[in-house]
Chain A
Amino acid sequence: MSPPGHPVAVRFDGVVRRFGDVRAVDSVNLEILDGEFFTLLGPSGSGKTTCLRLIAGFERPDGGRLFLHGADSGALPPYERDVNTVFQDYALFPHMTVEQNVAYGPMIRGVPRARRRRLAMEALEQVKLAELAARKPAQLSGGQRQRVALARALVNRPRVLLLDEPLGALDLKLRQQMQVELKALQRQVGITFVYVTHDQEEALNMSDRLAVMRAGAIEQVGAPGEVYEEPRTWFVASFVGASNLLTGPVALKLMGAPGAYSVRPEKIALHQAGAEVQGGGDRAVLDGRVVEVAYLGALSRARVEIEGGATLTVVLQNADAGHRDVARMQGQPVRLSFRRDQVRALEATEGAPA
Chain B
Amino acid sequence: MTGAASSARRRLSSFLLARPRLALAILLAPPLSWLGAVYLGSLASLLVQSFFTLDDYTGQVVRELTLSTYGQLLTAANLDIVLRTSAMAAAVTVAAAALGFPLASLAARHARGRMRALFYLGVLLPLWSSYLVRLYAWKLILAREGVATWFVQRLGLLGALEAVLELPVVGGPSLSASYLGMFVVFVYMWLPYMVLPVQAALERVPPSLLEASGDLGARPAATFRHVTWPLAFPGVVAGSIFTFSLTLGDYIIPGVIGQSNLFIGQAVVIHQGTAGNIPLAAAFSMVPIAIMAGYLAVARRLGAFHAL
> Which residues of A are at the interface with B, using a C-beta cutoff of 8 A?
60, 75, 77, 79-80
Contacts and interface: CB of A to CB of B under 8 A. Distances in A.
B117 interface: no
Contacts, number: 9
Nearest to B3: A110
Nearest to A76: B14
Interface residues of B, number: 5
B17 interface: yes
A79 B18 CA distance: 13
Contacts of A75: 18
A79 B17 CA distance: 11
A80 B13 CA distance: 11
Nearest to B18: A75
A74 to B, nearest CB: 11
B106 to A, nearest CB: 33
Interface of B, helix, strand, loop or mixed by DSSP: helix
Contacts of A80: 10, 14
A80 B10 CA distance: 10
A53 to B, nearest CB: 14
A60 B14 CA distance: 13
Contacts of A79: 10
A150 B277 CA distance: 72
B56 to A, nearest CB: 61
Given A75-B18, A77-B13, 7 more contacts: A60-B18, A77-B14, A77-B17, A77-B18, A79-B10, A80-B10, A80-B14
9 contacts: A60-B18, A75-B18, A77-B13, A77-B14, A77-B17, A77-B18, A79-B10, A80-B10, A80-B14
Contacts of A77: 13-14, 17-18
Nearest to A80: B14
B177 to A, nearest CB: 57
A60 B19 CA distance: 12
Contacts of B14: 77, 80
B8 to A, nearest CB: 15
A74 B122 CA distance: 56
A75 B18 CA distance: 8
A60 B17 CA distance: 11
Interface in B10-27: 10, 13-14, 17-18
A282 to B, nearest CB: 61
Contacts of A60: 18
Contacts of B10: 79-80
Nearest to B13: A77
Nearest to A75: B18
Interface in B158-200: none
Contacts of B18: 60, 75, 77
Nearest to A57: B17
A264 B155 CA distance: 92
A77 B13 CA distance: 9
A75 B13 CA distance: 13
B16 to A, nearest CB: 10
A60 B20 CA distance: 12
Contacts of B13: 77
Contacts of B17: 77
A79 B10 CA distance: 9
B17 to A, nearest CB: 5
B145 to A, nearest CB: 57
A324 to B, nearest CB: 44
Q: Which 3 A-B pairs have the closest CB atoms?
A: A77-B14, A77-B17, A75-B18
A170 B10 CA distance: 37
A75 B14 CA distance: 9
B125 to A, nearest CB: 30
B11 to A, nearest CB: 10
B243 to A, nearest CB: 40
B274 to A, nearest CB: 58
A348 to B, nearest CB: 38
